[in-house]
Structure 1
Amino acid sequence: MAQAKRPTRTFEGRKPQALGRAGHGMNLSGPNIRQARLARDPQWSQEELSAAVAQRFGLELSATTISKIERAERSLYDFELRALCAVLGLDANDILNMPTT
Structure 2
Amino acid sequence: MKIYTYQGKKNVSGEKIRQMRNMKRMSQSALAAKMQVEGVMLERDSISRIEGGERFVADYELRVFAKVLGVDVKWLLNEQ
After superposing the two structures, state which structure 1 stretch, 84-93 or 23-32, moved more. 23-32
Q: Percent identity among equivalent residues?
A: 36
Give RMSD over aligned pairs. 1.6
Q: How many residues align?
A: 80
Alignment of 1:23-62 (within 5 A): 24-40=8-24, 43-55=25-37, 57-62=38-43
Larger radius of gyration: 1
Q: When you count helix as a share of all residues, which structure comes out higher?
A: 2
> Structure 1 regions of 5+ residues with no counterpart?
1-14
> Structure 2 regions of 5+ residues with no counterpart?
none
Instruction: Look up the match of 1:64.
Output: 45
1:27-57 deviation line (CA, Å, top 9, x unaligned):
00001100000001xx1111000111111x1
- Asked if 1 retains the 8 angstrom alpha-carbon contact of 2:16 and 2:76, the reply is yes
Moved over 2 A (4+): 17-21
Instruction: Look up the match of 1:18.
Output: 3
Q: What TM-score comes out, normalization by structure 2 length?
A: 0.90
User: For 1:18 and 1:58, how far apart are their aligned partners in 2?
Assistant: 24
